[in-house]
Amino acid sequence: MQENNSKMSCKVPLCKADIGEEELNAVREVLASGWLTHGPKNKEFEEAFASYIGVKHAVSLNSCTAALFLALKAHNITGEVILPSFTFSASANAVVTAGAVPRFADIDEETYMLDPKSVEALITPKTEAIMVVHFGGQAGPIKELKELADKHKLLFIEDSAEAIGAEYKGEKTGSFGVGCFSFFPTKNMTTGEGGMLTTNDKKIAETVALLSAHGIPKSVNPPHVGYRSAVMPGYNFRLSNILAALGTVQLKKLDAMNEKRRVAAAKYNNLLSAIPGVVTPVEKLGRKHVYQMYTVRVAKEKRNKFILKLKDAGIEVSVHFNPPVHLQDYYKEKYPTNLPVTEKIAEEIVTLPMYPDIREEDIAYVCDIIRENIA
């Protein structure tokens, strides 16, 4: 029997990277230079990114996971790290693989980010760090969490994978603690694969750079040609010169791309606010939301059918995140916990298409299909 291809075709993708001639030219230039591994474009990208975020140092890496992992390793964190379970597993994986212990806190029902009261209740003498995960393009409760971190002398890590360019009271995410960023194609800017760590601590930046490159520093006066001596056991987490070139161009376009996302979100909000049974995102006072994702919530008993109806209409949707980390196979056995708000949100949330160049008619189409299928 022939398949119904109309149901299989995609009319509105979930996400789409904004790649143009400038990016293609930048990559061509690097390819022509022959310098394909870590090189001059990395330095240019790092300096521009640090300036954009408002910090002294930025270290380019091959992923946000590497940034999170090295943030912990460079600070010698081996105790407990408090973080949300409502996140991609990479946040927790970095904690475990770095040799630390994850402690999952519950989230705020309005923003889907760490609830400071839940965090405070988990702080013990074993706690060494708090990791806030900025969700979907909006900063978390930085003031309250930073105060807790400072009070208890804890490392403050910002998982800013989903919030490049987001602001909290006029300051960029990633400037309040150790910032960790992702340049995966779904993010607000992309290098394909890639990440960045930001810090105001020169020693930490140098340690992260060393760890990311096998623990081998560049020798000023080497005893012979080809001399390479590791000063610590390291890893290979470097970003290539090719991808750094792509990043330098994307960074220049970031604010414009983020503004397009904000405009698209406003259109979604306007259309969906008139549809009963759909909970739209909230932008908290004093925060600039850059909508890496546009998520809505529907009743859990309706969600699966709701998702299938949208997919049948050619609309790519996803769920971020279900199951939450504490209910995933490895973590539920090793770190059992009860997080009622996290579990409620995970059963209701749906991610709709969002990217800088999403068309107004596509947003209208998505909202029409939702209106027809929410009952």
| C-beta neighbour count of 311 within 10 angstroms | 14
Tokens of 7: 């149901």
> Rounded to whole angstroms, how far apart are CA atoms 236 and 247?
19
Q: Name the segment(s) of the chain with CATH classification 3.90.1150.10.
A: 254-373
- Kindly report, as residue ranges, where domains of CATH 3.40.640.10 are found in the chain: 21-252
End-to-end CA separation in angstroms for the chain: 32
Q: Is 187 a catalytic residue?
A: yes
Strand order in the sheet with 57-61: 57-61, 195-199, 178-182, 155-159, 127-133, 80-84, 101-105
CB 213 within 8 A of CB 206: no
Nearest to 367, CA basis, from 267, 239, 291: 267
Residues 6+ apart with CB under 8 A from 37: 238, 240, 241
pLDDT value of position 226:
86
pLDDT at residue 3, rounded to an integer: 38
φ, ψ of residue 363 in degrees (nearest 5) = -60, -45
Q: Which contiguous run of DSSP H or E holds residue 132?
A: strand 127-133
Query: What tokens appear for 192 in the block?
Result: 């394909």
Helices 300-312 and 360-373 pack at an angle, to 10 degrees, of 130
- CA dist., res. 103 & res. 328, Å (int): 14
**Is residue 156 reached through a cis peptide bond, with omega within 30 degrees of 0 on the bond before it?**
no
pLDDT at 7: 53
Domain 254-373 bears CATH identifier 3.90.1150.10: yes
For the entire predicted model, the pTM comes to 0.96
* Unique residue bearing structure tokens 């009319």: 11
**φ/ψ (deg, to 5) at 30:** -70, -40
The one catalytic residue in 117, 187, 202, 218 is 187
Cβ–Cβ < 8 Å for 328, 272: no
Intervals of the chain under pLDDT 70: 1-8, 375
Tokens of 105: 């806190």
Structure tokens at 13: 């993708």
SS (H, E, C) 210-261: HHHECCCCCCCCCCCCCCCCCCCCCCECCCCHHHHHHHHHHHHHHHHHHHHH
pLDDT number for residue 1: 32
SS3 at position 109: coil
How many whole angstroms separate alpha carbon 67 and alpha carbon 65?
5
Helix-strand-coil split of the chain, %, nearest 5: 40, 15, 45
CATH of the domain spanning 21-252:
3.40.640.10
**pLDDT score of 8:** 54
